Amino acid sequence: DFVFDAFLGSYADQRTFYHGHTFTGSALGCAAALATLDVLSQTGLLRKVREETIPNFWRMLEPLRQHAHVGDLRGRGMMAGIELIQDKAARLDCDRNERKGHRVVLAARKRGVNLRAIGDLVLAVPPLTITTEEMALLGRVLKESIEEASIGFEKPCVKQA
């Protein structure tokens, strides 16, 4: 009741819960959503994604498994998580203060690709409509960005349990 009562009052009292979504009522957001629905409803798109795009995405990512500073590569469909580690053979995690995932994101951004990191897990989640050329770019940028961020991985790290 305490929380609920804090919002009770007249309009003039301005005791309301001012909450909304960033793109609520956005004409541009609505136009983008409608254009997306047009693309997604194209005949054969989802079959192509299932039979071509997703397998190509994972083939593109596969070489990263061999990278000295990639501990795990996991995901499903068009969502992949690339775990950064200090040393694969010794199973050493990176020092979190080094922010290796963030460094990969910044290196990718310089190359025109937007990634996201959660700690030392780099996320690659391209759109279902990614082209073959864009997929190749993503693969190249991931490799180059991990290489760039790997400079200095010789710092002491934590042994995995």
- What pLDDT score was predicted for residue 137? 98
* pLDDT tens digits, one per residue of 15-45: 776 666 666 778 888 898 899 889 888 888 8
Identify any residues that bridge with 121 across adjacent strands, giving them in sequence order. Answer: 83, 118
Identify the residue with better confidence: 69 or 62: 62
**Range scoring the smallest mean pLDDT among 14-28, 114-128, 137-151:** 14-28
Mean pLDDT of 44-63: 95
